[in-house]
C-alpha cells in the first residue's frame, strides 16, 4: 500500500482526528489530534490492509528552543512498521505545556509501556490510564525532567537511597504465574 | 629487616613492617565495574599482563572478602549510594583505586547524572588517568598503592572531598 492510499484509509476512518500530513523522503508523516491517537493506532493495528504490528520507537520532542516554532511546546512522534506488508508510518502528536497528557498505547503495544515511562521521566509528558507511570531511568528522588530544554544540563542532584525495584518485580512475577 | 648471623635462624623487624609487607603483597581486589574500564581490568587480570605478579590476582566479587575496591567506570548519581554501601561493607583496612577518567573526574560526562569524581563519595588512594587506562597504568597504580601501604608517611593520604550539596547516606 502506497502512502496516498494509506493516508486515505486512515483519514476516511478518522476524519476529525487527522490534522494534516506530510511526506518526507518517501516516508508518510501524519499529524494526529492528541485525543484521537489511541483510536487511530487501533485502526493501524486492526485494519488488514494496514496491519501495523510493530511500534518501532516513540520520541518526545521539546520545541521550546526550536527556531521559528509557533506550535505547542511538546511533541510525540510514533514510528510504526508492518512486518507482514513492509510499510512504515510516522504519527505526530502536539502536546501543550500546561496539560501534557496523552492517552496511553500500552494496552495495544507492550513496549509502549516503557517508552511512555521514559517520555514521562525525561520530558514530563504524562500518559492517561498508563498501568505503571513512574520514572524508568532517573531515580525516584530526582526532581524535574532532565531532557526539557529549561533543565540546566549540569544541575546535579545527590540521591540518598538505593532503589529496590521489587514493586516492579512482583508485578512481573505475578504475570508469569509465580506468586 | 635485618638478618642475624649464619648460625641463628631468626630475623628481627617491626610488627608494622611485617603486617604491611603481608598486606601489600596480597591485595584482594573487588572490581566495581560499571563501564568499559572493567573490560580493561580483565586484560590486566589475564595472563599477558598478569596482575598476580604483584599479588593482587584473587578477585573477589563480595566486598566482605576484599580489601581493594577498584572502581572502574562511570558512576552515576543513582549508582553513588550503592558504591558508598559497598565501600562501607568492606572490612578495614581497605583501599580504593579510582580507575579511568570517568571514575576520577566524571570524564566527558559533564551532565546532570554523572558523579564528577568518586572522591565525593568514597576516599580514594590512587587515581589512574586514561580512557581507558593501559594495563601498565593499572599495574603501576597497584605498585603505588603497595608503596603507600609500606610507607604511609611518604605519600599523601586518601582524597575525600565532599562538595556542595552535603549528603548523608
pLDDT in tens, B34-72: 989 999 999 999 989 989 999 888 998 999 999 999 999
Best B84, B107, B112 member to test A by mutation, with max A CBs in 10 Å, is: B112
DSSP element (H, E) containing A77: strand A74-81
Q: Which of residues 6-45 of A touch B (CB under 8 A)?
A: none
pLDDT in tens, A20-59: 889 888 889 999 999 889 999 998 899 888 889 999 999 9
CA B17 – CA B20 distance, rounded (Å): 5
Q: Is B134 left (phi over 0), alpha (psi -120 to 50) or beta?
A: beta
pLDDT in tens, B75-126: 999 888 899 999 999 998 899 999 999 999 888 888 888 998 888 889 898 9
B85 neighbourhood in chain A, CB within 8 Å = 162
Please identify which residue in the block is written with the cell numbers 573490560: B39
Distance from the B158 Cα atom to the nearest Cα atom in chain A, whole angstroms: 22
Q: How many CA atoms lie within 13 A of B28 on its CB side?
A: 14
Q: Which domains does chain B have, with CATH numbers?
A: 25-152 (3.40.50.12280)
**Residues whose CB is less than 8 angstroms from the CB of residue A67 and which lie 6 or more positions away in sequence, other chains included:** none
Q: What is the pLDDT of residue B167?
A: 47
* A136 and B CB contact within 8 Å: no
Contacts A–B by Cβ distance under 8 A: 39
Q: Is the ipTM of this complex over 0.85?
A: no
**Residues whose CB is less than 8 angstroms from the CB of residue A42 and which lie 6 or more positions away in sequence, other chains included:** A108
Please identify which residue in the block is written with the cell numbers 510525540: A76
**Residues whose CB is less than 8 angstroms from the CB of residue A125 and which lie 6 or more positions away in sequence, other chains included:** A60, A74, A76, A95, A100, A101, A102, A119
| Largest Cα–Cα separation, chain A | 55
Give me the residue from A138, A152, A159 closest to B80, CB to CB. Answer: A159
CA B83 – CA B32 distance, rounded (Å): 8
Distance from the B151 Cα atom to the nearest Cα atom in chain A, whole angstroms: 35
pLDDT in tens, A134-158: 888 888 888 889 999 998 888 888 8
Amino acid at each position: 500500500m502506497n502512502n496516498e492510499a494509506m493516508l486515505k484509509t486512515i483519514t476516511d476512518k478518522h476524519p476529525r482526528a487527522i490534522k494534516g500530513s506530510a511526506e518526507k523522503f518517501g516516508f508518510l508523516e501524519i499529524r494526529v489530534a492528541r485525543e484521537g491517537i489511541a483510536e487511530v493506532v487501533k485502526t493501524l493495528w486492526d485494519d488488514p490492509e494496514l496491519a501495523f504490528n510493530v511500534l518501532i520507537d516513540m520520541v518526545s520532542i521539546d520545541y521550546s528552543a526550536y527556531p521559528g516554532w509557533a506550535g505547542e511546546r511538546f511533541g510525540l512522534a510514533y514510528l510504526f512498521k508492518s512486518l507482514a506488508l513492509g510499510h512504515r508510518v510516522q504519527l505526530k502528536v502536539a502536546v501543550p505545556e500546561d496539560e501534557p497528557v496523552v492517552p496511553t498505547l500500552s494496552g495495544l503495544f507492550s513496549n509502549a509501556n516503557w517508552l511512555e515511562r521514559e517520555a514521562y521521566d525525561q520530558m514530563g509528558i504524562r500518559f492517561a490510564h498508563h498501568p505503571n507511570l513512574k520514572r524508568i531511568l532517573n531515580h525516584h528522588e530526582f526532581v524535574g525532567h532532565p531532557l526539557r530544554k529549561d533543565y540546566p544540563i549540569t544541575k546535579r542532584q545527590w540521591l540518598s537511597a538505593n532503589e529496590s525495584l521489587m514493586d516492579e518485580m512482583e508485578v512481573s512475577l505475578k504475570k508469569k504465574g509465580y506468586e | 629487616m635485618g638478618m642475624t648471623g649464619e648460625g641463628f635462624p631468626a630475623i628481627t623487624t617491626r610488627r608494622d613492617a611485617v603486617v604491611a609487607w603481608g598486606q601489600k603483597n596480597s591485595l584482594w581486589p573487588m572490581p566495581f565495574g560499571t563501564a568499559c574500564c572493567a573490560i580493561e581490568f580483565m586484560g590486566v587480570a589475564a595472563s599477558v599482563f598478569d596482575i598476580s605478579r604483584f599479588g593482587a590476582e584473587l578477585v573477589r566479587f563480595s566486598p566482605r572478602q576484599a580489601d581493594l575496591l577498584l572502581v572502574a567506570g562511570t558512576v552515576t548519581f543513582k549508582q553513588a549510594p550503592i558504591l558508598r554501601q559497598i565501600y562501607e561493607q568492606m572490612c578495614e583496612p581497605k583501599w580504593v583505586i579510582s580507575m579511568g577518567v570517568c571514575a576520577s573526574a566524571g570524564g566527558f560526562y559533564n551532565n546532570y547524572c554523572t558523579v564528577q569524581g568518586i572522591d565525593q563519595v568514597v576516599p580514594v588512594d590512587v587515581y589512574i588517568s586514561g580512557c581507558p587506562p593501559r594495563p601498565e597504568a593499572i599495574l603501576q597504580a597497584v605498585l603505588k598503592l603497595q608503596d603507600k601501604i609500606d610507607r604511609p608517611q611518604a605519600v599523601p593520604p586518601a582524597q575525600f572531598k565532599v562538595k556542595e550539596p552535603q549528603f548523608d547516606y
